């Protein structure tokens, strides 16, 4: 018996389902642990697409686990080190989840996403064109699309419900949600995580244009890095050798899917359109290449 190449939705009988997100299925294990299953679902413009990307969940899991290990000295994280055998007795259920499930600590997730931008692209570029600032942070005049910022900036956003859109917020609004001390800690940790990761990625031929981190607190109030970390889903990865200022560079992330969807007459509301086979195959290839570049010794 071999694990399925593609998993659109997990089905476990031995654990209660807690939630299904855009990509992850979360199961309750006990009072202290959760099982997180990373499926091959892909979302764009806050809509889950009908076609999964084969192998994507395993890539995201491998990349996240790599970064959890590499950046563990910066902040504690959700990993427990417990194998699937510790929470799933059924071999068939374990087979379904091979390479795409982890047992994590049950933590209280913070209600913000910690976005760090090192380059001017996406919604940040649009904000800058309109106001000269990104999330309330005034930037130098004359910057061009995809230009590297003088220093990385912390630009948090709200965490929207499934199907809704995240909303960029400024530092003061983040303080209202988290309090001043925790907001400063999240900002400082996020900037350090980004900086160390970007330095490593550059040696592997990848520029991390921006990324988002999620954090949670344990019962003692200790900050933990949770969810996924520096993956092609949560980040913009650009090939160093194809990077040019003034254009939106090609990428190793799901921007390839977004660009295809932007070419359609679609209002970005459910139901999302089907993806052509060549877009699915090319996206899977890009995810695998990002994993190989970042994680190989």
- DSSP state letters, 200-252: HHHHTTEEEEEEEEEEEE-TT--EEEES--S-TTTEEEEEGGG--TTS----S
The pLDDT, as a whole number, for residue 255 is: 78
- How crowded is residue 64: how many other Cβ atoms within 10 Å of its Cβ? 24
Cα distance between residue 50 and residue 266, in whole Å = 14
Residue of 130, 176, 165, 131 whose CA lies nearest to 270: 165
Angle at CA of residue 27, ends 26 and 30, nearest 5°: 135
- pLDDT < 70 positions in the chain: 1-4, 161-165
Cα distance between residue 16 and residue 30, in whole Å = 10
Cα distance between residue 197 and residue 200, in whole Å = 5
The pLDDT, as a whole number, for residue 1 is: 41
What are the structural domains, with CATH classification, of the chain?
Answer: 17-106 (3.30.200.20), 109-258 (3.30.470.20)
Which residue(s) pair with 115 in the sheet?
Answer: 212
The residue behind tokens 């649009």 is 126
Cα distance between residue 96 and residue 229, in whole Å = 23
Please check whether residue 70 is in contact with residue 50, taking contact to mean a CB–CB distance below 8 angstroms.
no
Q: Could you tell me where the beta strands, DSSP code E, fall in 70-227? A: 101-105, 108-109, 112-119, 133-134, 137-138, 148-154, 157-158, 206-217, 223-226
Please check whether residue 140 is in contact with residue 150, taking contact to mean a CB–CB distance below 8 angstroms.
yes
Digit-coded pLDDT (tens) for 250-287: 988 787 898 899 999 999 999 999 999 999 999 999 99
Cis bond upstream, residue 271 (ω within 30): yes
The residue behind tokens 């417990």 is 82
The pLDDT, as a whole number, for residue 5 is: 85
Residue of 112, 113, 108 whose CA lies nearest to 216: 108
Q: Could you give the maximum distance between any two Cα atoms of the chain, in Å?
A: 60
Digit-coded pLDDT (tens) for 48-94: 999 999 999 999 999 999 999 999 999 999 999 999 999 999 999 99
The pLDDT, as a whole number, for residue 104 is: 98
Write down the pTM of the prediction: 0.94
The pLDDT, as a whole number, for residue 165 is: 67
The pLDDT, as a whole number, for residue 4 is: 62
């Amino acid at each position: 018996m071999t694990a399925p190449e593609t998993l659109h939705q997990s089905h476990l009988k031995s654990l209660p389902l807690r939630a299904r997100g855009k990509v992850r299925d979360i199961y309750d294990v006990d009072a202290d642990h959760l099982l997180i299953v990373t499926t091959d679902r892909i979302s764009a413009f806050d809509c889950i697409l009908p076609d999964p990307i084969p192998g994507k969940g395993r890539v995201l899991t491998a990349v996240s686990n790599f970064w959890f290990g590499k950046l563990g000295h910066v902040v504690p994280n959700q990993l427990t080190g417990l194998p699937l055998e510790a929470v799933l007795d059924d071999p068939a259920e374990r087979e379904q989840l091979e390479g795409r499930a982890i047992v994590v600590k049950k933590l209280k997730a913070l209600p913000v996403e910690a976005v760090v931008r090192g380059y001017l692209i996406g919604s940040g570029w649009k904000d800058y064109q309109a106001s000269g600032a990104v999330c309330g942070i005034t930037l130098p005049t004359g910057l061009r699309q995809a230009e590297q910022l003088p220093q990385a900036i912390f630009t948090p956003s709200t965490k929207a419900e499934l199907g809704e859109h995240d909303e960029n917020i400024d530092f003061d609004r983040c303080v209202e949600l988290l309090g001043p001390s925790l907001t400063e800690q999240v900002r400082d940790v996020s900037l350090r995580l980004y900086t160390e990761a970007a330095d490593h990625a550059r040696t592997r031929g990848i520029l991390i244009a921006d990324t988002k981190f999620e954090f949670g607190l344990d019962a003692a109030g200790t900050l933990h890095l949770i969810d996924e970390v520096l993956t092609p889903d949560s980040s913009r990865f650009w090939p160093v050798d194809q990077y040019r200022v003034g254009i939106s560079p090609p990428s190793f992330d799901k921007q390839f899917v977004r660009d295809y969807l932007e070419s359609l007459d679609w209002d970005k509301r459910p139901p999302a359109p089907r993806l052509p086979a060549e877009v699915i195959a090319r996206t899977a290839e890009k995810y695998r290449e990002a994993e190989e570049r970042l994680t190989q010794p």
